[in-house]
Structure formats: structure tokens, C-alpha cells
Amino acid sequence: MKRLWAPWRIEYILDEKKHNVCLFCDISRKTGKNRTDDKKNLILYRGKYCFVMMNKYPYNNGHLLVVPFYHTSSFEGLSDEVLFELIKTVKRSVDILKKAMNPEGFNLGLNFGKVAGAGMESHMHLHVVPRWTGDTDSMPIIAETRVMPEHIQKTYNKIKKFFKE
């Protein structure tokens, strides 16, 4: 029998599941003025109304989340200013991923509600997933395992420098 070792998955398996706590609200507030926890929380960028972070359990290397600071499960309650910054930040994220990782395409996704596949249905967010030819295989279907070719911290460092520009 062959084994595929994926030691980073143990973090997800053992991760404390906090009930009645919004992950996005929690981590966006955790960092004070010095932003010392941003790297730990995989936050790449903070705007006035939204922030960009890496998905801790990505579909692909470079999988980003663009999240408004305002806690809402849909577009309800978001001002035009927030919506404008949200979509501009998605565009900027795509542009940065093109420079940093040279993907051949992208999937952009916004799920509303649990039945739509949203794991964080109480706080809307947009997924920005870079794609390459051949980046999908049978491992997720057969073994419920996703093979990631680059460690998430290395990807974070690669992308972060472009957000500083």
C-alpha cells in the first residue's frame, strides 16, 4: 500500500472549532497597530473596508479570500464604497497572482448560505483561486486528499511582497 504524507492536514483536523465566533471578524481584530499577527493569520493586505488573506485550507496554491470587515452573510448592508473596494481588491488580487504565480486562469467564487457550499456562511467573502492546466487530479475524489506542491508560508511570502507595492 502506498501512503501520501500530508502532515499539514493535522492542523485542520485538530484545529479548535469555535462556536458562535466568526473567524473573519476574530482574525481581522486580532492584530493591533503593529500587525504582528498578520503573517500568522495569513493576512496579505488590509484596506479601509476589506482585507485579503490566504485560505488556510486552499483548493490550490495561491487561493485567496477577499473579505469585508463588515460582518454580513450577503451584499445586504454593504455600502457602495465597501462594494467598490471589494471588487477593486479582487481585481488587484488577480493582478498580483498573475505576477507572482503566472496562473493560466482563475476561479472566482462567492457562496451565499450553507447549502451553496459556504463553510463560513455568516460572513461573506470572495474566493480567488489561481488555476493551471493539469492542476486537478483524482486524489481529492479517491483519497480525499489535495496535493499542494508548495508550502503555504512560501506562497504567502511570494505573494506578500506584491501587496506592499
Query: In this predicted structure, what is the pLDDT of residue 68?
Result: 94
Query: In this predicted structure, what is the pLDDT of residue 149?
Result: 65
Q: Which residue among the candidates 19, 71, 123, 125 is catalytic per the annotation?
A: 125
- Is the pLDDT at 161 greater than 50? The verdict is yes
- Cell 476561479 locates to 107
The domains of the chain are located at 43-163
Q: What is the pLDDT of residues 104-158, one digit of tens each?
A: 999 999 877 777 665 677 888 999 999 988 776 544 444 455 566 678 888 999 9
Q: pLDDT category, 18, cuts 50, 70, 90? A: low
Mean pLDDT of 24-35: 70
Q: Hey, what amino acid is at 3?
A: R
Q: Where are the alpha helices (DSSP H) in the chain?
A: 9-14, 23-30, 80-101, 139-142, 152-163
> Could you give the C-alpha distances from 41 to 37, 52, 72, 111, 120, in angstroms and in order?
6, 11, 21, 22, 16
Considering only the top CATH level, what class is 43-163? Answer: alpha beta
Query: In this predicted structure, what is the pLDDT of residue 15?
Result: 65
Give pTM, 2 decimals: 0.78
Q: Is 19 a catalytic residue?
A: no
